[in-house]
Amino acid sequence: MKNLVLLIGNDINNISAGLSWKDLLQDIITYCHTSGCIEIDEKKPFPLLYEEIFLTAIRQHHMKEKDLKAFIAGKTAQITPNQLHTAIRALQPEHILTTNYEFTLEGSTPTENTSLIRETTFSIFRKYTMDNIHYWHIHGDCLNPMSINLGFEHYGGQLQLMRNYVVSGTMYTNKAVPKESLIRRIKNKEIYFHSWIDLFFTKDIHIFGLSLDFVESDLWWLLTYRARQKFHHKTISVPNNIYYYIPEAYTERSKFKLDLLKANGVTVVSMPAPTKLAYYQGIIEKIGKTKPVRDTAIAL
């Protein structure tokens, strides 16, 4: 479906039997030999909990982060696809953004990286194109373990590069990367889909399977900056819409988060969820009936 853009999180993987996020966390602690040292508490933001586990492992066992992330990459690569992944591909979206590290959405492991540049650590341009769908792994992928975004330090570095790309301009040596900021390029009507970030200012985006916890500082910054441009600074036109899908039963307990999303110009869509599978099937069906919007960008 031309112009359809999806941002998909890990919850769609929970339809599949096997590794859960809690399982992965326990596996990380076990691998780092920190079982007796780390207290898992939901009050601890995960990026800081990751730092606690890793830094404890460094001090006690001289753990190397590349080994830890290679272990995590191997674990996430074991996640098996389910019927939702197939149904999502059947929509034939132009772009799929995902915070997931594995390639269940693609249906198979890509053989070619189609990013503008090759990134070893951060994920401003990380893209794989398969069957005319552009897949953007915005938090890294398991083929490149050091790109997997888990810790507080990694989030900070990602956000720094994101803000440069949007606000102040880039300093990449590769001449293919535009030096001017995204905001300036939009003002000059020079938009190219080099990065997944471009889509947040130019195309409608449907978000589902993603809890959007406040630890996702990079995404919350992007939503906030976009909203400030749209409602406050108004230096550029921001004509696109962003939709966030949530089960009806969760709307009351998530009111604080939904209020913040609405303040940032995000449209909240609550859906019935008799089962997790039926909930996501309902979203996919609803999106499939969405009329594509006119492409506001100039070039790809």
DSSP string, 261-289: HHHTTEEEEEE--SSHHHHHHHHHHHHHT
Do 99 and 29 sit in the same domain of this protein?
no
Query: What residue numbers bound the domain in which 51 lies?
Result: 21-74
Residue 291: what pLDDT? 64
Residue 297 lies in a domain: no
Residue 300: what pLDDT? 38
Residue 1: what pLDDT? 62
Q: Which residues pair with 82 in a beta bridge?
A: none
Number of C-beta neighbours around residue 83 at 10 A: 12
Q: Which residues pair with 291 in a beta bridge?
A: none
The sign of the torsion formed by the CA atoms of 176, 180, 181, 183 equals: negative
Residue 293: what pLDDT? 53
Residue 164 lies in a domain: yes
Judge contact between 132 and 143, C-beta under 8 A: no
Residue 296: what pLDDT? 47
Do 60 and 187 sit in the same domain of this protein?
no
Do 84 and 206 sit in the same domain of this protein?
yes
Residue 212 lies in a domain: yes
Do 26 and 156 sit in the same domain of this protein?
no
Residue 300 lies in a domain: no
151: nearest Cα among 46, 71, 42: 46
Tokens of 41: 């508490």
Do 26 and 140 sit in the same domain of this protein?
no
Q: d(Cα 159, Cα 122) in Å, to the nearest integer?
A: 9
Residue 157 lies in a domain: yes
Q: d(Cα 124, Cα 162) in Å, to the nearest integer?
A: 7
Q: d(Cα 166, Cα 297) in Å, to the nearest integer?
A: 16
Q: d(Cα 12, Cα 10) in Å, to the nearest integer?
A: 6
Q: d(Cα 177, Cα 198) in Å, to the nearest integer?
A: 13
Residue 299: what pLDDT? 42
Residue 241 lies in a domain: yes
Do 85 and 49 sit in the same domain of this protein?
no
Give the residue ranges of DSSP H helices in the chain: 21-31, 46-61, 65-76, 83-90, 152-163, 182-187, 196-199, 217-228, 255-263, 276-288
Do 223 and 98 sit in the same domain of this protein?
yes
Q: Tokens 């070619």 — which residue?
A: 112
Do 62 and 135 sit in the same domain of this protein?
no
Q: d(Cα 208, Cα 24) in Å, to the nearest integer?
A: 21
Positions of the chain with pLDDT under 70: 1, 291-300
Q: How many domains in the chain?
A: 2
Do 174 and 145 sit in the same domain of this protein?
yes
Residues in the chain: 300
Number of C-beta neighbours around residue 135 at 10 A: 23
Model pTM score: 0.94
* CA distances to 42, 77, 139, 275 from 97, in Å: 27, 18, 10, 24
Number of C-beta neighbours around residue 276 at 10 A: 15
The sign of the torsion formed by the CA atoms of 217, 200, 132, 279 equals: positive
Residue 131: what pLDDT? 95
Residue 21: what pLDDT? 78
Q: d(Cα 207, Cα 210) in Å, to the nearest integer?
A: 7
Judge contact between 66 and 146, C-beta under 8 A: yes
Do 194 and 58 sit in the same domain of this protein?
no
Residue 173 lies in a domain: yes
Q: d(Cα 31, Cα 160) in Å, to the nearest integer?
A: 30
**Domain-ending residue, one of 33, 48, 74:** 74
Q: d(Cα 240, Cα 183) in Å, to the nearest integer?
A: 15
